[in-house]
Structure formats: structure tokens, C-alpha cells
Amino acid sequence: MSPTLAAHTPAERMAVAFARLLRGAGLKVPLGSVLTFVDALGRVGIDGRDGVYWAGRATLVRNPEDIPLYDRSFAVFWTHAQTLLDEQAVETLNLTLAIDDDSDEGSDDPGSSDADDECGPEITLRFSAVEVLRHKDFAEYTSDELQLAQQLMAQLRFIGPPRRSFRQHRSPRGRRPDLQATLRAALRTGGEPINRQWREPGDRLRRLVLLLDVSGSMEPYARAMLRFVHAAVSGRQRVEAFAIGTRLTRVTRELNSRDPDKALTEASTRVHDWSGGTRLGECIRVFNDQWGVRGMARGAIVVVLSDGWDRGDPVELGRQMERLQRIAYHTIWVNPLKVTPGYAPLARGMAAALPYVDDFVEGHSLASLQELAAVIATDISRHPRGRA
């Protein structure tokens, strides 16, 4: 530790110490940002609390969600930094102590991820087991079976229907002249544009947005579904994933890492409300306000995975689903309980949401997830919305 601190100017010492504290608190602070922070401190000075605070905000924070964490760390840091700067002699130990002080926040060690065996060929070997698994309810899975199921899910790479992109590419059957290519060709024929070239707009995949209920009532399915979400994320480019429970948590970044098990652990440590009750309407409202309506859900395929048990106001859920459906391209609700004999969407939340759902599918087994993959791939223009 000490070599990095065997430094230098007070600004550098301050920057390094604070960066360490932030990292301890769980913020990602790359070295480049620390260097910029040092520069910034050089400009605003290290004596004023406000100057240091804002210099750090501008250089070390990159997401509004991180601001509260930054604020708390800064408060802790500033009290220690004051004493540190008073006694000119640097004691590296002081700094380490400052970090430990904040340990209530930084207790998220990434966990050990040991299960990352490549799984390609094994699938064929265990084919019969697979057949059994296909229709088994996720709630009855053992952890080994879940492992195997996950390997199968990784094969569920589906492609949603594309939409017209604004970006054009060269095409012999295009309708718009491609002047650039025409000119290039004309050079070959002495400046005479004999062979004309054309371009046309390309296709682009729609964004897939997954809203995943992780509350207690969904616990048995939540893990399996998270794995399905992960399979989808690593198979496609533009997928956004959110966990909904007592509040909305974005898990896109966690799921983007290539190792599913690690991603799952990370996601579940971030979803604090793993077994609390669900406030569906409230969470979907937050999603609409902060992400969806601004653009994320526009023209997107939105998949809600939930049993529809809502502790909140069902009217609110209906209102928010209506809002969501109005901007989304295709709204799909996956409810694992749909398969239960005699099930009717009795959960009040479910009943309120149903009019604003284009497709309502099961999600309790591998086979049904396959069906879901097919639904996601439907081109909704050939599938009129069944709104009641």
C-alpha cells in the first residue's frame, strides 16, 4: 500500500486516499479519474470543503445513483483529511483507518465464482435428463438441475423483429442514389457516371427490456428467470434488465458480464429486497419515469416477469401498464402461475394489468421459456394487438 502513497504533494495524497475510500465504499474509481482529480485539486485548491467536494463530484462520479454514496464517503473523508493535513507528517495508517470507518457500506465482496466450466458438448450427453427437465416446474428444481437448465437457456438466443434503421448501407436494390460510390466508379470510366450505385436503410434490432419480479412470492422462479434474462443478455446486443421488488433496481450492467453465475450473485446482492413484498405499480411507475418514457421503452419489446401479486394499488399498476404499452412496441407478461390448474388472473394487480398486455404467457418451465422466446420473436404488425 505504502508505495502508492509514498508521495508527493498534499493534493496527490488527498486524491489517492479519497479514491481508496470510495473504492472501499463500492464505487468504481479508475486510475485515470484519480489523476484528473489531482489536476482538478490543483486548480480549485485543497483547503475549501466545497471546492474539493465539487472537484471530486466532477471527476470521480459518473452516475447520479452514486451521488448519495459519494456524499457519505466525502463526509467521512473530510473529517479525517482535516486532521491529516494539520499534522504535516503523513501516516499511511491514518488513511487505512479512514477506509475501515466506512465499512458498513462496503461489505459487498464479489463472492467466489467457481462454476465456470464450458458446457457445449455436455448437453448432448445428458439428453434424456434434458427431456425431463424441459417440462419440470422451476419451483421443483434442485440446484444441479438449475445448473443444467441454465446451459440449455444459453441456447435460447432469439432474435426479435427488426425495425427500419436510419443508417443507410450500399445495396444494388436500393432506391436512393449513393453519390459517393457513384463518384468512385465514375473515376474508373473517365469521369462518366455510367454505373450508378444505390443505398437503402438497414435494419436494426429492437431493444429488449426485461422487468423481473424478485419478490418473495416469486422466489422459486426468480433465479431461473434471472438466468433466462442472462441468456438473453449475452445472446443479444441491446437488452436492458431491471429487478422489481419493493423498489426498482437496474441490473443491466451486472448481467452484461460474461460469467452468468457471477452476474447472478452480483445482481442478487444489489437487489436488497430479494424476499420482500412487491410494489409492482410503484416500480413500473419509477421505470416509466426514469427510464421508459424517456426513450428506453419506446419501440422496444418489454417483458414483465411476475405473478402479478401487488401490495400496492392495482389502479396504479393498470395506469402504469397503460402508459408503458402506449410507448412500447410489444408488451409481454410472463406469469409462471398461469399454468396452475384452475388459475384465473385473480391477483388484483394481474387483473388490472392484463388489459394492457399484448401477450400473456407462462414461464414456469424450460419449454415455456422457449415459447416465450418465440413470442418475443413475433412481428407484431402481423399480430393485431388483442386489447380488451
Partner 1 sequence: MATTPSSPADVSAALSAFGYIPDDGLSTSVFLAMSLQRPLLLEGEAGVGKTEVAKVLSRWTGGELIRLQCYEGIDVSQAVYDWDYSRQLLHLRASEATGESLGLTTSALEQQLYNERFLLKRALLQAIDHRNELPPVLLIDEVDRADDEFEAYLLEVLSEYAVTVPELGRFAAIRPPLVILTSNRTRDVHDALKRRCLYHWVEHPEFEREVRIVRMRVPQALDRLARQVAGAVETLRTLNLYKPPGVAETIDWAQALSALGVSDLDERTVAATLGTVLKYREDQERTRQHGLTDLVQQAFVRAATPM
Where do contacts with partner 1 occur on this chain (CB under 8 A)?
A: 30, 32-33, 36, 39-40, 43-44, 50-51, 54-55, 57-59, 61-64, 67, 165-167, 179-180, 182-183, 186-188, 190-193, 240, 252-253, 288-291, 293-296, 319, 323
Smallest gap, in angstroms, from Cβ of residue 12 to partner 1? 16
- Minimum CB distance to partner 1, residue 164 (Å): 10
Say if strands 198-205 and 162-170 run parallel, antiparallel, or are unpaired.
Answer: antiparallel
d(CA 45, CA 155): 55
Rounded to 5 degrees, φ, ψ at 214 are -120, 20
Which is nearer to partner 1, 8 or 188 (by Cβ)?
Answer: 188
Neighbour order of strands in the sheet with 198-205:
162-170, 198-205, 176-177
Rounded least distance, CB 233 to partner 1, Å: 14
Contact call for residues 329 and 299 (beta carbons, < 8 A): yes
β-strand partners of 198: 177
CB of 149 to partner 1, least distance (A): 30
CB of 281 to partner 1, least distance (A): 12
Partnered with residue 162 across adjacent β-strands are 205
- Residue 1: CB minimum distance to partner 1, A: 24
285 contacts 318 by C-beta, under 8 angstroms: no
What dihedral angle (degrees, nearest 10) is formed by the CA atoms of 344, 287, 72, 19?
A: 120
CA distances from 162 to 209, 293, 376 (A): 15, 20, 11
Nearer to partner 1, 72 or 126 (CB): 72
Q: What is the Cα–Cα distance from 169 to 50, expressed in whole angstroms? A: 51
Task: Return the number of the residue (26 or 220) whose C-beta is nearest partner 1.
Answer: 26
Cell, residue 87: 499534522
127 or 166: CB nearest partner 1: 166
User: Shortest Cβ distance from residue 361 to partner 1 (Å)?
Assistant: 27
User: With respect to partner 1, which residue has the nearer C-beta, 37 or 360?
Assistant: 37
DSSP class of residue 341? T
3-class SS of residue 151:
helix
Q: Closer to partner 1 at the Cβ: 59 or 217?
A: 59
84 to each of 29, 45, 73, 77, how far by Cα in Å? 22, 16, 16, 10
Rounded Cα distance between 165 and 16, Å, is 46
Residue 191 CB: number of other CB atoms within 10 A? 8
Three-state DSSP at 302 gives strand
Q: How far is the CB of 310 from partner 1 (least distance, A)?
A: 18
Instruction: Specify the residue, 39 or 219, whose C-beta has the smaller distance to partner 1.
Output: 39
Q: Which of 361, 290, 344, 300 is nearest to 320 (CA)?
A: 290
- Closest approach of partner 1 to the CB of residue 365, in Å: 33
CB closer to partner 1 out of 108 and 192: 192
Rank residues 26 and 51 by Cβ distance to partner 1 and give the closer one: 51
